[in-house]
Amino acid sequence: MNKITNKKIESYSKYLKEKSRPPSRGGNTKALHAHYLVIGGETYSFLALGSQQWVFKTDLVSFEYEIKGTYKNIIVDTLTTVDKNGCEVVRGNRGCKRKLRTADARMPVSRREINSFK
């Protein structure tokens, strides 16, 4: 295992990995997202539920990661953040779900109208 200890991040981005869903059906708040941290020019990533940010620019972050090919995957259980006041904080949705979303969102029309377009 490789380790990063008390480093500031340069950038943070996240991208939706599951199928998108409209807000009327619950939205993408708890959908699977890929989170990317850039530290010292190197990119580290992990998959987590939700689009909530886990680390802010003013935080110090520590974690363990494993290298798989060209990817540096963060082990989510080891990710800790320390805010600008020196207090350890827990951010992001650390839950899990048993089943990932695979179905496309349907148009908000009746079945009769859908079948008339086929």
**86-114: average pLDDT:** 77
User: pLDDT value at position 92?
Assistant: 81
Q: Which domain covers residue 100, as residue numbers?
A: 2-116
Instruction: Give residue-wise pLDDT tens across range 3-49.
Output: 999 999 999 999 998 888 878 777 788 888 999 999 999 999 999 98
Instruction: Give residue-wise pLDDT tens across range 44-78.
Output: 999 998 888 999 999 999 999 999 999 999 999 99
User: pLDDT value at position 34?
Assistant: 93
User: pLDDT value at position 24?
Assistant: 75
Rounded Cα–Cα distance for residues 115 and 74 (Å): 46
pTM listed for this prediction: 0.81
Residue 27 near residue 49 (C-beta atoms within 8 A): no
Rounded Cα–Cα distance for residues 52 and 1 (Å): 26
DSSP E strand boundaries for the chain: 2-7, 11-16, 32-39, 42-49, 60-68, 71-74, 80-82, 88-89
Contacts of 98 (CB under 8 A, 6+ apart): none
